[in-house]
Amino acid sequence: MSVSGQHRLQVGIVGGTGYTGSELLRLLLPHPGVDVATVTSRAEAGRPLAEAYPHLRGITDLVFREPDAAALSGCDVVFFATPHAAAMHLVPELRAAGQRVIDLSADFRLRDPDLWAQWYGEPHACPDLIESAVYGLPERHRDSLRDAQLVACPGCYPTSIILAMLPLLEVGLADPARLVADAKTGVSGAGRTLKTPFLFGEMAESFKAYGVAGHRHLPEIRQVLGNVAGGDVGLTFVPHLVPMVRGIHATCYLDVADRDTDLQALFEQRYAGEPFVDVMPPGATPETRTVRGSNTCRLAVHRPGGGDVVVVLSVIDNLVKGAAGQAVQCLNLMAGFEETAGLTSPALVP
Ligand SMILES: NC(=O)C1=CN([C@@H]2O[C@H](COP(=O)(O)OP(=O)(O)OC[C@H]3O[C@@H](n4cnc5c(N)ncnc54)[C@H](OP(=O)(O)O)[C@@H]3O)[C@@H](O)[C@H]2O)C=CC1
Ligand SMILES: CC(=O)N[C@@H](CCC(=O)OP(=O)(O)O)C(=O)O
């Protein structure tokens, strides 16, 4: 991929009509280093983007195309914003042609293809490519991302939970056998496809847990935190749906017997220089609206009542740091752009 001189990076988006695809368009159309060359949708193929998305009128003349290798052939980097088990069928052809891939779906996140098949319900189509995928969490894999040819972007819940737990597990302060993450998400996490439980009349003014017996993000979070802790971790993860559009709030509980370490200083030092992680002052409680539309993860660390349990609060926008923003952050690293390029907008408040 050439990123120097006159050659602007040509990027493609597979799945441009979904929520993360349209968020990629919002971030990439004004990006200083790239041209969006191809955007796909099977249902909208042949239709101008600006007709399907009136907010893009006057901004792009692109027309949706069918998702195939020919349509994507001019792209240096291809983003997949597709449901799981779609990217894995096209990625081998793109990789064979030397194109770099950033996958927002789950297809390359789990290292063990059998575990993937167990959670995603079908055999993996290209297990041989999994090992080459770099997990797209810059706060942990920045150096590997610079040369990555295939990036597996983390899930939205995993991003919020891993960033909250990382500082304590990296230094061995938290008991890895007793981790708890109680997380809430907005409805855009379910995507744009019509599903009855996500209709306004079904979920407005209501609040519920789901996936309590086992959510597909559980093996992903365990895999990453297990690598951090150097062994298996015991994690209880309970996701909830709240009636808002964007945002994740994760309340993470960790057993920390050590009382000598200044945890506020630990978090501040771990994330010093991280452009997209904000450690709030002692006593703060981050709100999802402070990250809405921005690529920031905002954290606060507490030890209620001075007890053994440390509580870390973590908020992100599921569509930005939880998906499209993090994917663009990975692109910036891969292409040698400023890591913050195209990602400097503050949150939409209110
Ligand atoms: N929503 C969120 O908060 C987050 C989502 N993700 C992940 O990102 C991915 C996309 O999510 P989201 O944007 O919410 O999904 P949506 O359901 O909103 O959009 C899916 C998009 O993919 C296209 N598509 C569907 N099936 C295929 C296929 N077989 N081949 C090519 N294109 C296809 C659809 O268009 P068409 O059918 O017309 O081709 C549509 O544009 C998912 O894997 C999701 O898990 C990750 C983090 C957060
Ligand atoms: C409300 C809702 O359904 N949320 C989604 C969030 C997952 C998601 O968005 O997909 P990733 O795995 O790619 O992160 C869910 O729980 O499945």
Torsions phi, psi for 29 (to 5 deg): -60, -40
Q: Are residues 95 and 165 in the same domain?
A: no
CATH number at residue 299: 3.30.360.10
| Model pLDDT, residue 7 | 80
The answer as to whether 276 is a domain residue is yes
Quote the pLDDT of residue 350. Answer: 87
Judge if 304 and 162 occupy the same domain.
yes
Determine whether the shortest distance from the Cβ of 81 to ligand 1 is under 6 A. yes
Tell the residue nearest (CA) to atom 17 of ligand 2.
190
Ligand nearest to the CA of 85: 1
Cα 267 to ligand 1 centre (Å):
34
Same domain, yes or no: 224 and 165: yes
State the ipTM, two decimals: 0.98
The answer to whether residue 330 is catalytic is no
| For the CA of 44, the nearest atom of ligand 1 | 38
27 in any annotated domain:
yes
The answer to whether residue 268 is domain-embedded is yes
Q: Going by CA atoms, what residue is nearest to atom 3 of ligand 2?
A: 190
Domain boundaries, position 121: 9-132
Instruction: Answer whether residue 340 is part of any domain.
Output: no
Domain termination site, one of 98, 132, 166: 132
Residues 207 and 64 in one domain: no
Shared-domain flag, residues 223 and 313: yes
**Domains contained in the chain, number:** 2
CATH number, domain of 21, equals: 3.40.50.720
306 and 175 belong to one structural domain: yes
**pLDDT value of position 1:** 42
Give residue 5's pLDDT: 52
pTM of the model: 0.97
From the list 153, 156, 252, 330, the catalytic residue is 156
> Does 186 contact ligand 1 (Cβ within 6 A)?
no
Considering the domain architecture, whether residues 239 and 279 belong to the same structural domain is answered as: yes
> What residue owns the CA closest to ligand 2's atom 2?
190
Cβ contacts of 36-39, under 8 Å, gap ≥ 24:
36/11, 36/12, 36/60, 36/62, 37/10, 37/11, 37/12, 37/74, 37/75, 38/12, 38/13, 38/62, 38/65, 38/71, 38/72, 38/74, 38/75, 39/12, 39/13, 39/64, 39/65
Would you say residue 188 lies in a domain? yes
The answer to whether residue 96 sits within a structural domain is yes
Pair 224, 248: CB distance under 8 Å = no
Task: Identify whether 350 is preceded by a cis peptide bond (ω within 30 of 0).
Answer: yes
Residue 267 lies in a domain: yes
Ligand 1 lined by 42 (C-beta under 6 Å): yes
Helix (H) or strand (E) holding 28: helix 19-28
350 residues of the chain, pLDDT tens digit each: 444 456 899 999 999 999 999 999 999 999 999 999 999 999 999 999 999 999 999 999 999 999 999 999 999 999 999 999 999 999 999 999 999 999 999 999 999 999 999 999 999 999 999 999 999 999 999 999 999 999 999 999 999 999 999 999 999 999 999 999 999 999 999 999 999 999 999 999 999 999 999 999 999 999 999 999 999 999 999 999 999 999 999 999 999 999 999 999 999 999 999 999 999 999 999 999 999 999 999 999 999 999 999 999 999 999 999 999 999 999 999 999 999 999 999 999 98
- Pair (171, 308) in one structural domain: yes
The answer on 173 and 304 residing in a single domain is yes
Is 178 found in the same domain as 128?
no
| Residue 124 sits in the same domain as residue 72 | yes
Give, as one character, the DSSP assignment of residue 214.
-
**Helix or strand run (H / E) with residue 310:** strand 309-316
Name every residue whose Cβ is closer than 8 Å to that of residue 81 and which is 6 or more positions away in sequence: 13, 14, 15, 16, 18, 20, 21, 24, 104, 105, 323, 324
**What Å distances lie between residue 31 and 17, 25, 229, 341, CA to CA?**
19, 10, 37, 7
pLDDT of residue 6: 60
Residues 165 and 311 in one domain: yes
For residue 232, is it within any domain? yes
User: In testing the pocket of ligand 2, which one of 80, 137, 156 has its CB within 8 Å of the most ligand atoms?
Assistant: 156
Ligand 1 neighbourhood includes 188 CB (under 6 angstroms): yes
